[in-house]
Amino acid sequence: MEINKDAKKELRKKLLAIRREMTREEVAAGSGRLAEHLFTWPVYQNAKNIMLYLAMPDEPHLDKVISHALAAGKTICVPHMRETRGLMDAAIIANLEDLVVGQFNLLTPNPATLNLLEPSELDLIIVPGVAFDKTGRRLGMGAGYYDRFLLRANKAELIGAAWAAQILETVPTDEHDKPVNYLLTEEGIFTCR
């Protein structure tokens, strides 16, 4: 168990360093390609209720996806972190103006107008990660928000979003880590085996 914890920590450090070396232009270009792949994907096209993440500066950005999905009449949710560490909800947003700057200087749903959707109502969840492997196992930031949340989103299709450099042969995981079924990168969408 402890070995696994150290292995995760080391891997997280290494991959975050790679991610942080990307320029703004590289992030923007890669995010654009990633969004285009998603727009032509039948699972995305058919999904009514979608949850996605609000990106850190060096993660694939999903602003284009949010705008596209809202224009197509889909319900869009983003994570709302509860006061209790490790717990989050799906907060519905009507547009990007519904977001405010919150903890860690990241965009977050406005707590004054919070409107939550039951996780079991979600059709598709775009899951962030520090790394994924080809079987869909995910290495997150380590706080367990998604691991707990995904257990409640029992009918949602799960697609991990990351840069191609973050897709590894294998990542260290624990039993509670829920794998994703697909991977979305700037190079395309891949089915996990």
Q: Which residues contact 72 (CB under 8 A, 6 or more apart)?
A: none
- Provide the domain count of the chain: 1
| Structural domain that includes position 157 | 2-191
Q: Cα-flanking dihedrals φ and ψ of residue 185, to 5°? A: -135, 180
Q: What is the pLDDT of residues 104-121, one digit of tens each?
A: 777 889 888 899 999 999
Task: Check whether 69 has a pLDDT greater than 90.
Answer: yes
Q: What is the pLDDT of residues 182-191, one digit of tens each?
A: 999 999 999 9
CATH number of 13's domain: 3.40.50.10420
Tokens of 155: 């009918």
pLDDT for 3 equals: 57
Length of the chain: 193
The answer to whether 133 touches 171, Cβ cutoff 8 Å, is yes
pLDDT for 32 equals: 97
Q: What is the pLDDT of residues 83-105, one digit of tens each?
A: 888 899 999 999 888 899 887 77
Task: Check whether 158 has a pLDDT greater than 60.
Answer: yes
